[in-house]
């Protein structure tokens, strides 16, 4: 068993599961979406991106692109949440919560593509 591949797979799956945990719930109810879970999803996604930088294969390029897409979506979601909670006079309204959750949904899709690629890559490997 290769420890590097275990760590790589762990962070890819953890990024997807944390993102899923934040995404689930009523789209416009801020009580169903924890800001710390969004933060954890963003941090783990960034770690997964760094782990994807080393390899130079075509499938690694696709892994990296999905990770960058997820990072961008989660960063945008965090920025919208920060604006709504700390700058906007209206606060975290259902409309702003819907925007944050929608952005995290885009990141969730990118993470699921990355997990599917990881599974396909694992199945195709020959010893």
- Summarize pLDDT for 4-18 with one digit per residue, the tens: 889 999 999 999 999
**Do the Cβ atoms of 27 and 98 come closer than 8 Å?**
yes
pLDDT for position 125? 82
Which residue from 82, 66, 76, 84 is spatially nearest to 102, judged by alpha carbons?
Answer: 76
DSSP character for 30? G
DSSP character for 32? G
Domain boundary assignment for the chain: 3-125
- Give the residues of the chain that fall short of pLDDT 50: none
Full-prediction pTM beyond 0.85? yes
pLDDT for position 127? 57
What sign has the CA pseudo-torsion 60, 62, 63, 65? positive
pLDDT for position 49? 93
């Amino acid at each position: 068993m290769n420890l590097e591949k275990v760590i790589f797979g762990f962070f890819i799956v953890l990024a997807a599961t944390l993102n899923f945990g934040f995404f689930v719930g009523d789209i416009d109810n801020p009580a169903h979406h924890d800001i710390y879970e969004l933060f954890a999803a963003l941090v783990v996604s960034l770690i997964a991106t760094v782990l994807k930088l080393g390899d130079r294969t075509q499938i690694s390029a696709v892994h990296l692109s999905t990770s960058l897409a997820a990072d961008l979506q989660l960063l945008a979601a965090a920025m919208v949440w920060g604006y709504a909670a700390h700058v906007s006079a209206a606060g975290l309204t259902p409309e702003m919560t819907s925007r944050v959750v929608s952005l995290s949904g885009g990141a969730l899709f990118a993470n699921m593509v990355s997990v599917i690629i990881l599974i396909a890559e694992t199945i195709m490997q020959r010893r």
